Structure 1
């Protein structure tokens, strides 16, 4: 659908909520000689509100619509909160638009401002009724429009995430710096216009978290691949390891004189990932890695290899 600004000429439109919280009906319709109005949108809430009888809401809406039609100006009945709609309210809205006294002159547009569904369509429909020379736009039923909106939102999300993956490859990337890099990209503009920057920030944080997890996984795998060689250097009698538990091996490693040659220990209140390790300059294994289940599995695999070597030698 073309942008709303391109579809509508400058118009004076009055939007009237059909509920009793507004001023009395006579006050809602100022003299047209004083206030020029080209058309009206009458908004009918199809969600359930405590203390608001549907019968009274319908009665008030009938009064408003009747008064509006007497002005000889175009009127569109707009249901709102269709994302929270009650079936009874939807049926009443349809009956309102098709009442005999209205002679089919009131189109019905179903909307959800929260979901951004059909809101522009309500104004475009009214604009085309005002400017009779324009063609008539198809009034899309809410379920179809909502489905299309979701599809569009999914496409925008995919495009935005693809943009982030292209430009963000380091898990230490920051959001302000990333915004500066992405600001001119259409995918960024479209996504933030639809969902807001906070939603974009959430997706960014989720992606950076995944990058960090992948980074950690790669580092752990590298450390574990080096563990057998380190154990061979630290323990001359490899067969003695067969009778030790992994916890006992960890304690022996921690007490070993060459511990700092092969391992680095973080402070008690500091995780190993927070250590300032240059991966090229410091190839030592963070001792905390040995407490992981992956390290214990690597140790058991190493013991199996020792047992196989022992059998072959026998």
Structure 2
């Protein structure tokens, strides 16, 4: 039964790990995995796990304090917990060391066969040190030195290892024979034993069947549980020792050990969870692709996610994942820069006015050659050449158009001002991503051109048809447009956009025509003003005006825009009764608004002397008079009798004074308005 440890809390369990051992003749080219099983259980951290353990030693190593002239190793102790039960395991490995001089087992005292010697329950070896790894031999002081407690211990249970992998030089019959003999000797001692199948990560079907057949023998059936393990993958190792501890403690509710496949799945899920947590940690805290491993490990080593990952994968494995993350950061940075440059490519292709009508997606190489010889190539692309940053003409070299250049009226803007850092590196054009961008650009450009042509055809169709009138909705004429290719080729949004644009044009034209109609009937409006110059216009007056206008097609064109038509009519009446520049039908072209501006900007006094030259505004108009004159000549162009009217009604003093020009012009225009249809 497990004993209470005096020094450390938890039940003390001493386990002896046994299995096929000896020379290569007996065990083949490889051992059965006893050392790896002990190593993985006692020192679970990945950095403390060693896969290479040798049994061939020199005489000096065999006589050292680690081996201590014994055919067993003391692996030390470890404290572990299972289901709220703490255990303190002390582990020894029974093996057989071979002399590298004669390749025969070392002879120590009374020589007994391994199958008998390995089942010893009373173990003694004064001053024996804990075994860590093979490199420890000969330099024991450089490793942790822990003595076997009191130089002796009593074995509570056995772990018998059975290799289910195929090993050259070893037969299944030989392993079965040795293992069966060991198990029989253990059962004679009435000590608990667990058969552990090792190397299940490299197992073969025959090895698994041989192990199952072994424990099903009559003498072993029902008394020896079997646990499938893998020390390299750390699968079911702890579970095997916990099961043995419960058997030693005669616990009724024993641990249920999963088969290897299920246990491996659980193990991988655990590792995936640890990996995901670690990856998330470095994604959050390591965002600089230049940060070194030494700095990052020192900064993050206290995080639980970092500690757990190092325990499971070791320092080397952690560095691999970290470097992969740094490489990903660099790739993301490069990809981001590439995307940023590629985002400029469609605009550059568009501004360079490359013909896209006859191009195909496979013509990218030809397009690159065209770009290279294009006159605007230096404007949008750079070839990686560096320029002297101290040169004052660098910006002009970067772009034919300087940033602060002022274009003269009529100059064509051909170049987009770009600094060297804003230009697209020419090397990007040779990438597959650039070819993909070109394909997208070509498809969009050709699609846009097709849509533009369809829109133009649809617009011409609307102009040619007589059933589309101002104010009529698209839904009212949709049935008349169905079947037309230009209409069917457009989306509803495009159809509505073209139709709305056409409506704005015909409405603007209809309103202009209505305004012309109102002006043509100036005598009618002036008649109402003369009848009641200070009175109000009644509904009967409006009806009388409407009766005169309603038969004109220009009036009828706004039948669907009754509110707009009434508003224009009322505004015109208001303007006739009370002329104001804000209500003038000419809008911004009203003479009252434009003439003062023209006079102020075009007619200036010419002064002499340097002072006047410094204070002078814009140059005087070439038709201005002398410097001491405030007179200008006014030429009024009229039609037919308007000229005679202006001649008879104009002031006798000519040319007129500048401060009376506006009044004269207004009088002339008003006279023209009154007499428009009297001529």
> Normalising to structure 1: TM-score of the pair?
0.76
Query: For residues 223 and 102 of structure 1, do their structure 2 counterparts lie closer, same or farther at Cα, with a shift above 3 Å needed?
Result: closer
Matches for 1:40-79 after TM superposition, within 5 Å: 40-79=158-197
Matches for 1:23-42 after TM superposition, within 5 Å: 23=96, 24-25=113-114, 26-30=116-120, 32=122, 34=124, 36-42=154-160
Secondary structure in 2 aligned to 1:12? Answer: strand
Q: What residue number does 1:284 align with?
A: 423
Matches for 1:104-119 after TM superposition, within 5 Å: 104-119=222-237
Bigger shift: 292-301 or 13-22? 292-301
Q: Is the 8 A contact 1:241 1:249 kept in 2?
A: no
CA distance in 2 between partners of 1:114 and 1:144 (Å): 16
Deviations 1:247-303 (A, max 9, x none): 4345336xx798499525169xxxxxxxxxxxx993333332232233345557379
Q: Is the 8 A contact 1:48 1:86 kept in 2?
A: yes
Query: For residues 200 and 266 of structure 1, do their structure 2 counterparts lie closer, same or farther at Cα, with a shift above 3 Å needed?
Result: farther
In the TM superposition, residue 133 of structure 1 has moved relative to its aligned partner by 5.4
Secondary structure in 2 aligned to 1:77? Answer: strand
CA distance in 2 between partners of 1:240 and 1:53 (Å): 78
Matches for 1:238-277 after TM superposition, within 5 Å: 238=353, 245-252=366-373, 259=378, 263=382, 265=384
Bigger shift: 174-183 or 223-232? 223-232
Q: What residue number does 1:15 align with?
A: 17
Secondary structure in 2 aligned to 1:61? Answer: helix
Deviations 1:52-73 (A, max 9, x none): 1101111111111111222232
In the TM superposition, residue 159 of structure 1 has moved relative to its aligned partner by 1.9
Secondary structure in 2 aligned to 1:196? Answer: helix
Matches for 1:1-314 after TM superposition, within 5 Å: 9-19=11-21, 20-21=26-27, 22-23=95-96, 24-25=113-114, 26-30=116-120, 32=122, 34=124, 36-102=154-220, 104-132=222-250, 135-227=253-345, 238=353, 245-252=366-373, 259=378, 263=382, 265=384, 282-296=421-435, 298=437, 301=441, 305=445, 308=449
CA distance in 2 between partners of 1:181 and 1:66 (Å): 56
Gaps of 5+ in 2: 1-7, 28-94, 97-112, 125-151, 360-364, 387-418, 457-679
Secondary structure in 2 aligned to 1:102? Answer: coil
Deviations 1:46-99 (A, max 9, x none): 111122110111111111111122223221111101122222222222232233
- After superposition, the CA RMSD in angstroms is 3.7
Q: Is the 8 A contact 2:356 2:445 kept in 1?
A: no
Query: For residues 249 and 294 of structure 1, do their structure 2 counterparts lie closer, same or farther at Cα, with a shift above 3 Å needed?
Result: farther
Secondary structure in 1 aligned to 2:194? Answer: strand
Q: Is the 8 A contact 1:228 1:302 kept in 2?
A: no
| Number of residue equivalences | 290
Bigger shift: 196-205 or 243-252? 243-252
Q: Is the 8 A contact 1:250 1:290 kept in 2?
A: no
Query: For residues 294 and 28 of structure 1, do their structure 2 counterparts lie closer, same or farther at Cα, with a shift above 3 Å needed?
Result: closer
Deviations 1:171-200 (A, max 9, x none): 334333332333222222222222223333
CA distance in 2 between partners of 1:133 and 1:250 (Å): 83
CA distance in 2 between partners of 1:33 and 1:305 (Å): 87
Q: Choose between structure 1 and 2: higher helix proportion.
A: 1
Q: Is the 8 A contact 2:194 2:240 kept in 1?
A: yes
In the TM superposition, residue 228 of structure 1 has moved relative to its aligned partner by 5.5
Secondary structure in 2 aligned to 1:138? Answer: coil
Query: For residues 98 and 296 of structure 1, do their structure 2 counterparts lie closer, same or farther at Cα, with a shift above 3 Å needed?
Result: closer
CA distance in 1 between partners of 2:346 and 2:228 (Å): 67
Query: For residues 172 and 31 of structure 1, do their structure 2 counterparts lie closer, same or farther at Cα, with a shift above 3 Å needed?
Result: closer
Deviations 1:24-47 (A, max 9, x none): 323434472745222111100011
Query: For residues 9 and 289 of structure 1, do their structure 2 counterparts lie closer, same or farther at Cα, with a shift above 3 Å needed?
Result: same
Q: Is the 8 A contact 1:246 1:299 kept in 2?
A: no
Q: Is the 8 A contact 1:8 1:124 kept in 2?
A: no
Which protein has the larger Cα radius of gyration, Structure 1 or Structure 2? Answer: 2
